Structure 1
């Protein structure tokens, strides 16, 4: 009857409202039945789940990863993971690569990464053409780095590859023309019908002229984001984070969440609220995120 019968596990499925012990029957790689005491007769394989601390969950989705493995060079660009190391081998069935590469190197995915991965990989192209493949903190050094024609050509010649656009609001250009950087990146995402994910908080901005500009650009961003767009590093203590000026940011953040903007609390070594810069006090994050990553 079933190719696989999973019995006795504590099933957690928020989408179906299931939180308790039940059985799951699988046929042809798809869930065919969910319920207590499913019949074992005819099942090709029965997996008995024993123990109070054993849970059965739907395939997990990690919406913030960097898995352009082989597209970046150690010591030069950002380090990227093998998608299966942080994917299926870790209980995660889908990962989203968040702009590890721009259009100049996006070809690594259909040629090398995707054919080898058992994990499903969704690809967000970086708004900057070379992104994390080159040395330097910023992905975008000038507005010319946001090559709308090249991205359009990439989408045309690689149908189904680009699932979103990623922008990191870091570097000198944010203080110079940050609002235009946001608007151009948002325009690219809109033209191709995909969400825009934006990294906020620049750990090096405090050493640049007019670090207050970072907050101005973040406020502009919060008003520009649309339903389905993603604000990432929600709890960053770095300059340009939503807690720079709580009185000004909080209403905009609340409005953004209410209209369907996804709040991603992802923390990294340069964005974690547990690692505040020495020049700034530690802060706490009080907004409820939309995604757990």
Structure 2
């Protein structure tokens, strides 16, 4: 029996609502005891006095799907990273690939609405690759309205994926923004009937495009109200920009009306996506108060010069990852918007972590430290440490208990009705999975920047997944791959 004893830390358990000094005993990957002065024979004892001990962070929105990316996330305290907004297709292949390669932290996938449509409407062949999903952004064929036969075909594809263990349906509605709202309702009806959540990148809100078929946040709220299913609104900060207060009001009213609607935020003013995204067309930028020069190519650091340069990039390499400066982190008014989004009642922290790209075209490596030249969005490496620094230490808007509610407990509760394994995550109750983060409360902060995007967070002292160290003494354990695939189960 493998035993680890974390001795004398400040144990914060959002499941039980407790915050106290205690020992934590781990046996065979589960929490076996929490109490004072536990005495255990043959346990590996770790002194964590003065440290915060809590459930590892559950990230509902991560596109890394790689060893390199997951290691950056582990250094940020993440023990479970899920690809839910975009999803992958087929999920069976996605799970198989990840298990064959090994993963330091837990993983899981939703079924990709975008790729299901692309298979039916434009003849694409899905291979469970996120880069493939980025590559379709410049293809107008999959963004068209479906005929009744096409709608039936791709809904059937998604239903089959749910049967194969998809954690829900990821809907990139904002990347096909002119499609008939009836199709969005049809997807949510399918998900509600199957008992799985949907995860939506909403289409444009009316402030951005008065001609939009429907305001994106209103559309998600309507689906939640109409079918009673779990509807998760992805990255409200980047889809709402400076209209965050209005869109949060829509979500608040939907919840008050009984909708099972959840929302996530990440603590950065700039977003990241493929440059071929519909909302990055040159004619669309002005409404957000940005210009082509607010777009930077991740792989090269090249800043887009003008509208002509942007059109060229969108045509020749629509899947190229880029950073988009929607909100100014340094501006006090804009920063206050982000803080209000993070403080929204029961709002969840999620990273929208992106793959690390190297100049030779590779997106993964087992090397650690990571080889020089890798680039990504800093949210990949720093979302959780940054959120805690901002909201716990600087703003004092969250207690430590509230921080773990938003980073660990609430995201696990989004998933546990569909996937029973999540009932053991996001808390430190007896029998819970020993996915644990140990934090230095005075040091925790992000280090990644837009210009040095793979610098790991600091102050995350230890991270355990299923009771096995993946971060020890603030460094990666390079031979640790305890991550497991989490799969949905039809009710």
How far has the Cα of 1:215 moved from its partner?
A: 5.3
Aligned equivalents of 1:214, 1:134: Cα separation in 2: 25
Q: Name the residue aligned to 1:213.
A: 212
How far has the Cα of 1:86 moved from its partner?
A: 4.3
Q: Which runs of 5+ in 2 are unaligned?
A: 119-131, 274-286, 291-325, 328-332, 351-491
Q: Name the residue aligned to 1:134.
A: 135
Give the TM-score of the pair, scaled to structure 2: 0.46
How far has the Cα of 1:48 moved from its partner?
A: 1.0
1:288 to 336, 345, 365: 345
- Does the alignment pair 1:58 with 2:69? no
Q: Does the 8 A contact of 1:4 with 1:27 survive in 2?
A: yes
Give the TM-score of the pair, scaled to structure 1: 0.73
Residues 8-157 of structure 1 aligned to structure 2 (within 5 Å): 8-40=8-40, 42-50=41-49, 52=50, 54-69=51-66, 82=68, 84-103=70-89, 105-115=90-100, 116-129=102-115, 130=118, 132-136=133-137, 140-144=142-146, 147-156=154-163
Structure 1 residues 112 and 118, CA gap change in structure 2 (3 angstroms): same
Q: Deviations over 1:227-277 (max 9, x none)?
A: 53211122236589665xx3xx565321323333111123673379xxx93
How far has the Cα of 1:23 moved from its partner?
A: 0.7
Q: Which runs of 5+ in 1 are unaligned?
A: 70-80
Q: Aligned pair count?
A: 263
Structure 1 residues 101 and 32, CA gap change in structure 2 (3 angstroms): closer
How far has the Cα of 1:127 moved from its partner?
A: 1.0
> Whose helix fraction is larger, Structure 1's or Structure 2's?
2
Structure 1 residues 29 and 106, CA gap change in structure 2 (3 angstroms): closer
Q: Deviations over 1:136-191 (max 9, x none)?
A: 268951244761122233334x2xx20111112224x42352x1232122123124
Q: Does the 8 A contact of 2:71 with 2:104 survive in 1?
A: no
Structure 1 residues 113 and 132, CA gap change in structure 2 (3 angstroms): same
Give me the CA root mean square deviation.
Answer: 3.6
Structure 1 residues 167 and 92, CA gap change in structure 2 (3 angstroms): same
1:170 to 165, 170, 174: 174
Aligned equivalents of 1:154, 1:176: Cα separation in 2: 22
How far has the Cα of 1:39 moved from its partner?
A: 1.9
Q: Does the 8 A contact of 2:217 with 2:250 survive in 1?
A: no
* Higher RCO (C-alpha under 8 Å, 6+ residues apart): 2
Aligned equivalents of 1:197, 1:21: Cα separation in 2: 37
